[in-house]
Amino acid sequence: MNVVTASKPHDRLAAALADDMADVNAMIRARMASEHAPRIPEVTAHLVEAGGKRVRPMMTLAAARLCGYDGPYHIHLASTVEFIHTATLLHDDVVDESDQRRGRPTANLLWDNSSSVLVGDYLFARSFQLMVETGSMRVLDILANAAATIAEGEVLQLTAARNLATTEDIYLQVVRGKTAALFSAATQVGGVIAGAPEDHVQALYDYGDALGIAFQIVDDLLDWQGTDAIGKDTGDDFREGKMTLPVIRAYAAGDAEERAFWDRTIGKAKIADGDQAEALRLLDKHGALAATRADALAWAAKAKSAIGTLPAHDLRDMLADLADYVVARIS
């Protein structure tokens, strides 16, 4: 058995699922291989083996085990979820022109944009092959819809960038697409493959949805308040003109002079020395960071409440602890 030091909620979950995760990792390595295009495993391995926490596939495994599943296909589904996630990261780094991911150079920097896009496409194709192997049309429907929703969310974020008319509702729609859709699908398919009662499947979906929203809100806060394992530099979102929740709130509460500042920096991408510090001052002035942190905590509480309706189980408690851990990064 693989041994994992259980010091954090994520580590305790990893320890409980160590054997399943070993099978997932083996399947990922096998399915990312390509006989004819060695560039594919090179690019994929660079990201897959870069030390990510594998939270999403573990959520699938935990949901399936929590619902009493003892078959083989939770491994396929967890691998599917990780492939979809990895594909989106490859595409995101091209769109954002990023040069760092998880503290390492991005694939598009080490190779090129074309390789990142095409290998991402390959991983999406592989993920659909894995879905089909489960023989469940409902699983295929859930994950296919999630893949489409993720792409839709990314396009919506692209159109919202530098658009100061972006509302909190649009922000939530972006977050539900680009992040929460895969979290909710990851837990939902675990219940579906286990043949769980419909109310249990819905609870798992609700848990993943709320956790995904909390996770993305926290990431957006960390962009202002410090670096994290997400491997971003503080202020990346500000420089890229992303309309995250703190900025939306500060702009809405600002006076004419403050709105002119946001229009110059976010809207027109004209950033000068000291602007990031001024932006942070305005966020603090209007309580935007504190209010956004309260939102993240509320979504984490919703996740815990949703999963609290499921039968008592150690894995249920670990998933609840995971919700606390996600928001503890901003405490």
The answer to whether residues 203 and 105 touch, using CB atoms and an 8 Å cutoff, is no
Q: How far is Cα 66 from Cα 257, in angstroms, rounded to an integer?
A: 54
State residue 4's pLDDT score. 35
Write out the H or E segment, with its range, that includes residue 105.
strand 104-105
Locate tokens 């320890």: which residue?
A: 15
Q: How many residues does the chain have?
A: 331
CA 287 to chain CA centroid, Å, is 26
State residue 229's pLDDT score. 41
State residue 166's pLDDT score. 96
Q: Which domains does the chain possess? A: 9-328 (1.10.600.10)
- The CA–CA distances, whole Å, from 176 to 29, 240, 328 equal 29, 20, 21
- Give phi and psi for 195, each to the nearest 5: 70, 30
State residue 329's pLDDT score. 81
- The CA–CA distances, whole Å, from 300 to 124, 211, 294 equal 29, 6, 10
State residue 72's pLDDT score. 95
Looking from the CA of 139 toward its CB, the CA atoms found within 13 Å total 29
Structure token pair of residue 117: 């896009």
Put simply, whether the predicted model's pTM sits higher than 0.85 gets the answer yes
Q: How far is Cα 262 from Cα 279, in angstroms, rounded to an integer?
A: 8
Extract the residue ranges of the chain whose pLDDT is less than 50. Answer: 1-6, 228-231
State residue 114's pLDDT score. 77
The answer to whether residues 53 and 169 touch, using CB atoms and an 8 Å cutoff, is no
Q: Where are the alpha helices (DSSP H) in the chain?
A: 9-16, 18-31, 39-48, 55-66, 73-95, 107-110, 113-133, 137-160, 168-175, 181-193, 198-225, 236-240, 245-253, 256-262, 275-285, 288-307, 314-328
